[in-house]
């Protein structure tokens, strides 16, 4: 059996799972996990990781140290940041790179598993001195992350800061160990994008849209089950062009599709992934006028992906109405779509058909789809 600790192309949190440990030395650290959600329930045990509730007082918007994650790390990962000399090579190696360390990986996994804002504040205690069995406080890397406040109209993700049962993370953390190195890397990268999207959602909702779409793309690239024929890719990700080509001579149609197919390959992966893993509507929904038309979800997602492309390649942010906090008109249930037949700001305006959902709906789609893929 391959020693996963030596697989330098996999995330450190995955490599650390079965690494041999010198128990007598007590190789443990505790990491501060900050969140504006309210963790409840029982502590979670998963391999070398223990997620512990801190019973913090949650008042206002500022993130609190809501979870302490205790980690045992192995002799092959003496530096929990993964920078030990034996692990360094003589050439660039970045197949598992995601922009953070093992603590950021674990925070992102908790964020996606629980659907909450969660960021690592770094180490706060170490057990690596044999003469100190109770451990010692360690603040060298500890820093409380800043969370931008929501607007006066409220948060664009109204459910992200509510109560959450920490035990709901258990099946995801348990499944993480059984993943291949390739999928573990994809899960961490998708989780990091999801985590970052939630954290900045109130200060930069257009960027949060981009990050959530990118999270789906990471998972879709790992899944890689798009249609082989270019004409089928066009029908999936560019239905207007697919409809036009239906009236063209089959040979010319296939030739055009072969020219255009590669340009829509990534979009086809995005749509195919969501077609496979997308959840049904939420259990609690507003009245009919405030609902997303779930039957037309494919068309909505085509439009979302088009907006993402414009945001990335033309500097055109997501439509203003899709970036606003939801109106709450009945029994505390937020609307799923912008209110009214049209919306405008300054000299720009959008019809309702061009703003098919609000960010909190797409966050729900992204989170549940990624969770189902994680466990698949």
Residue ranges of the domains in the chain? Answer: 9-203, 222-368
- For the chain, the straight-line distance linking the first and the last C-alpha, in angstroms and rounded, comes to 23
pLDDT (average), residues 198-205: 97
Question: Which pLDDT score is estimated for 140?
Answer: 81
Closest by Cα among 234, 223, 212 to 273: 223
- What is each CA distance from 339 to 115, 157, 160, 183, 205, in whole angstroms? 25, 16, 21, 40, 18
Is residue 90 scored above 80 in pLDDT?
no
Task: Quickly tell me which residue has 């089959």 as its tokens.
Answer: 250
The model's pTM = 0.87
What number of other Cβ atoms are within 10 A of residue 312's Cβ? 12
Is residue 277 scored above 70 in pLDDT?
yes
pLDDT digits (tens, 9 = 90+) for 116-164: 999 999 999 988 665 667 778 888 888 999 998 898 889 999 999 989 9
Virtual CA dihedral for 247, 251, 255, 260, nearest 10 degrees? 30
| Higher local confidence (pLDDT), 330 or 121 | 121
Question: Which pLDDT score is estimated for 241?
Answer: 60
| Higher local confidence (pLDDT), 7 or 42 | 42
Mean of per-residue pLDDT scores for the chain: 86
Angle between helices 359-375 and 205-223 (to 10 degrees): 20
- CA distance linking residue 309 with residue 306, whole number of Å: 5
Closest by Cα among 271, 157, 174 to 220: 271
% residues pLDDT > 90 (the chain): 61
| Higher local confidence (pLDDT), 59 or 201 | 201
How does residue 1 score in pLDDT terms, banded at 50, 70 and 90?
very low
| Higher local confidence (pLDDT), 67 or 89 | 67
Is residue 263 scored above 60 in pLDDT?
no
Is residue 85 scored above 70 in pLDDT?
no
- CA distance linking residue 72 with residue 102, whole number of Å: 12
């Amino acid at each position: 059996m391959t020693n996963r600790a030596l697989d330098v192309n996999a995330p450190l949190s995955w490599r650390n799972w079965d690494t041999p440990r010198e128990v007598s030395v007590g190789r443990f650290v505790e990491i501060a996990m900050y969140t504006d959600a309210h963790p409840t329930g029982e502590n979670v045990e998963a391999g070398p990781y223990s997620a512990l509730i801190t019973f913090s007082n949650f008042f206002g918007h500022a993130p609190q140290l809501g979870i302490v994650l205790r980690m045992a790390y192995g002799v092959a990962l003496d530096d929990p940041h993964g920078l030990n000399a034996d692990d360094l090579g003589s050439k660039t190696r970045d197949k598992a790179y995601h922009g953070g360390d093992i603590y950021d990986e674990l925070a992102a996994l908790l964020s996606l598993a629980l659907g909450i804002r969660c960021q690592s504040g770094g180490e706060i205690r170490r057990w690596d001195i044999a003469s100190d069995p109770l451990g010692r406080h360690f603040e060298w890397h500890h820093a409380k992350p800043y969370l931008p406040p929501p607007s006066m109209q409220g948060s664009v993700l109204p459910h992200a800061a509510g109560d959450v049962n920490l035990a709901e993370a258990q099946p995801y953390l348990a499944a993480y160990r059984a993943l291949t190195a390739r999928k573990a890397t994809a899960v961490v990268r998708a989780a990091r994008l999801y985590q970052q999207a939630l954290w900045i959602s109130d200060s930069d909702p257009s960027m949060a849209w981009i990050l959530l779409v990118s999270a789906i793309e990471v998972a879709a690239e790992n899944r890689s089950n798009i249609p082989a024929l270019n004409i089928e890719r066009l029908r999936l990700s560019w239905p207007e062009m697919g409809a036009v080509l239906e009236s063209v001579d089959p040979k010319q149609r296939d030739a055009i599709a072969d020219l255009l197919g590669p340009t829509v390959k990534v979009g086809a992966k995005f749509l195919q992934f969501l077609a496979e893993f997308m959840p049904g509507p939420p259990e609690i929904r507003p009245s009919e006028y405030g609902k997303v038309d779930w039957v037309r979800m494919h068309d909505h997602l085509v439009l979302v992906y088009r907006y993402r492309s414009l945001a990335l390649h033309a500097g055109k942010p997501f439509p203003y109405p899709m970036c606003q906090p939801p109106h709450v008109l009945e029994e505390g249930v937020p609307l799923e779509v912008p209110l009214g037949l049209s919306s405008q700001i300054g000299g720009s305006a959008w019809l309702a058909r061009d703003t098919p959902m609000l960010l909190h709906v797409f966050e729900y789609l992204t989170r549940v789809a990624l969770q189902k893929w994680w466990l698949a």
